[in-house]
Chains A and B, each alone.
Chain A
Amino acid sequence: MNRFGHIIIREWKRILSLKVFYLVMLVVPVLLFSFYAVIYQKEEAKHLSFAIWDDDRSPVSRQLTFLLEQREALNITRRVSSEAEVEKLIQEGKILGAIHFPANMQKDIYSRHPVNVTLYTNAASLVPAKMVYKAVAEVVITGSSGVILKKLIKTGMKADQAMALANPIKLNSYQLYNASYNYQEYLVPGLITVGMQMILIISSMLALNYEWKTGTMQELYELSNGSALSVITAKTIAHLVVSWFNFILIAFVVFPFFDIGVSAATGKFFIIYSLLSVACIGIGMFISALFKDVMLSGDTALFYTSPAFVFSGFTFPRWAMPWYDQYYATIMPYTPFLDAFFKVYYMNLPLHYAQADINKLLLFCAVMFPTAVLLFQRQFNASTDEKAIRAVHH
């Protein structure tokens, strides 16, 4: 076997025997990715605690309450009698929203007086508030349209014409790629891939400098004939192969087990995943070659990778961020990866739609690897000088 193969096998042995590698690269992915999938197992937030404030107590208010009870998103847990009570219950976290049917609502509807039904939500909890709003708005809009329809039919109008007037502009909406706003489908692949970026950088940042800690740098020098290029290439291959094992875990274990993801796009996912892996390993190698001190290396890697999820625009779009944050987002490989991931995975589009993002990932590799090689070659050369000096002293 040539020296290149030896370094690869040596690196795998290190990965399997040193805690700082195997815990991060092999144990954390299994636990973390399964945990993410379990969190969102219920897929949608349902049965949100909701209160009814019914000052009308009429057949109409009872009918509306019945319709609200049928909504899966809502769980009517209480009856209340004032706005202050609604606020108090929200403050205490006992309800997430409430609806008020005013006194004389039915009478007003029949006597052609418009009625205001008030919906309160705890918008400080944005996700449930939006769900409560959606469920209630649908009921109230349907109820209102029903009232109009009845009135128009009473005037002798044909049913289809009455329908046309009750809802003149019918909006046919399609939520593409995630029709039911399934949170598990949406968040879990994103959380897993951002976790993968962190795993790759936090482990590869020790690929070079940890050799000092284990006292094996000289051995590595001899094995590679003093070539930083050989070391970095071989170690990159070793780390990349381990990241492919994690790909198998993600695409063939976690996703199918939890019924997540677009299996038809797995091949394209593999390509962009591999590019992300190489880019991250490049960054890790660069950090590892830059700092001899492993703690400093760890702090730098942590500081660099931890904001990736929020800066990438996954949950809050990048265009809504201030310009300086948008620039910062571009220095993380997860940002172009995510843009590509949306297109080729979630939307299952051909790879060419992600060409620009792929180019950006390649740019990371083109910058990081040569820089890491240069930095590490200097360290490598210095290590032999140190050895020579030590030999002279002895």
Chain B
Amino acid sequence: MKKQSGQSITKLLLREASLVAKDHSLLLTLLIAPLLYAFFYGSIYINKEEQNVKLAVVDDDHSRLSRLLQQNIDNSPTVELIHFPNLEEAREQMYRGTCQGYFYIPKGTESNLLSLKQSNVVLAVNAARFLPSSDILMSVQQICLTIGAGVRLQYYQKSEGMSSTIAMQNVMPVNLDYRPLFNERSSYGAFLLPGLLALILQQTLLIGLSESVAGERQHSGIGEWLKSGISTGIWGKGLFYLFLFSAYAFFFLNVNYSLLNLPMRGNGFELSILLILFIVTLIPMAQFIGSLFKSQLLCLQMMAFSTYPIFLITGYSWPFESLPLVVQWLSKLLPTTPFIQIYSSIVQSGASLWANPAALVHLMLLWCFYSAIAYLRLSRLRKRSQ
């Protein structure tokens, strides 16, 4: 009996391979898209972070202090200053998109300081674009604080007669030592790329396999596909995807990670177990989704709109706790949610597979859940086709 079932699974695996080879849409989705997307999307973030974000500067003070401020800002890798004679021109350039904001040093900045008065400088950023504006803000804020500390240092030395060591101790009584763990440069690329590669793997599998199942319905192939039993049908077809996407996962983790210079801090074997568990959960899920469509084209169209919503509710790009409760429940129905939690903790922070036991159990439960609903749905379809 077991031998017979094994033979059927092998037959179904070969049947699926031949089906994919004949169907150019499946061929494109399953064999070309994952690799192309991985290189294509990956390359966007190859520089990991933005540099030389353009900021307009208007200096009405023309003093040593204003030059020092500009020099420091310009020397930071994040910001590049463009000089303008007045605020109107600077603003106009921001409107045109040439720069992402303007920095204004009013007249009297240095003289105010010399007479022990606070100096006010102005930074206006175009917060319609989040990343450049927050990077500029952080950078300029840090520079103003540093130069402010320098001003205090000189005051303590000159007016209070402190030695440079004592003065230094008084300049910043409380320092903030910032340690961003597992992405030391806090770069956007290092944050997004691991998740993006996992998403490419997931979406191409979901689209390809659901299309294949929809194709079975469209071409009246359900009866033939499921003739050796529902479970044999699910795993016979699924085995092809398990092999293919395990190979992609291995390829991404070795080739793409190395090309994009991404660290893999965790244990490779544990990560492999996780990836296999993820793929085997996606397989019945994709088959269930595909079974809802009678047309391969409609399945492709609908699945095309699933990528962004799935990514946005997994808690990767936006904290899970900040999602509305209903969305959190929906998110918990996706294998991506527990997977991405374990995956990013293994890959990015070097945790063990067992560090997130709740998420691991969650993923296993989803495997059972999708296997069950795929089984029930395909049983109904088989009955109908008989």
Give the interface of A toward B (CB within 8 A).
19-20, 23-24, 28, 32, 35-36, 38-42, 44-49, 87-88, 90-93, 96, 109, 112-130, 133, 136-137, 140-141, 143-144, 147-148, 151, 155, 160-161, 163-179, 181, 183, 186, 191, 194-195, 198, 202, 206, 293-296, 298-299, 302-303, 305-307, 309-311, 315-317, 319-322, 324-325, 339, 342-343, 346-347, 349, 353
Contact = CB atoms under 8 A, between A and B. Distances in A.
Given A38-B324, A92-B356, A339-B97, A176 B125 contact: yes
A109 B179 contact: no
A24 B121 CA distance: 51
Contacts of B319: 45, 48, 96, 125, 127-128
Contacts of B85: none
Contact of A347 (B29, B33, B128, B351): B128
Contacts of A136: 176
A340 B220 CA distance: 48
Contact of B148 (A49, A169, A320): A169
Contacts of A195: 305, 308
A169 B147 contact: yes
A306 B301 contact: no
A177 B128 CA distance: 6
A38 B327 contact: yes
26 contacts: A19-B298, A23-B298, A24-B301, A87-B181, A90-B181, A109-B174, A112-B173, A114-B172, A121-B179, A123-B182, A124-B344, A125-B344, A129-B183, A129-B186, A151-B173, A160-B118, A168-B147, A169-B109, A169-B147, A172-B122, A174-B123, A198-B304, A302-B304, A306-B307, A342-B97, A353-B95
Contacts of B179: 118-121
Q: List the 5 closest A-B pairs by CB distance, nearest first.
A: A123-B180, A91-B351, A123-B183, A320-B50, A175-B127
Interface stretch (B132-140, B221-229, B280-288, B378-386): B132-140
B126 A177 contact: yes
A178 B355 CA distance: 39
A342 B128 contact: yes
Contacts of B119: 164, 168-170
B88 interface: no
Contacts of A38: 324, 326-327
Interface string B131-154: 111100100110011011001100
B43 A324 contact: yes
B167 to A, nearest CB: 10
A20 B297 contact: yes
Given A198-B304, A317-B53, 6 more contacts: A118-B178, A160-B118, A170-B119, A177-B126, A317-B129, A349-B95
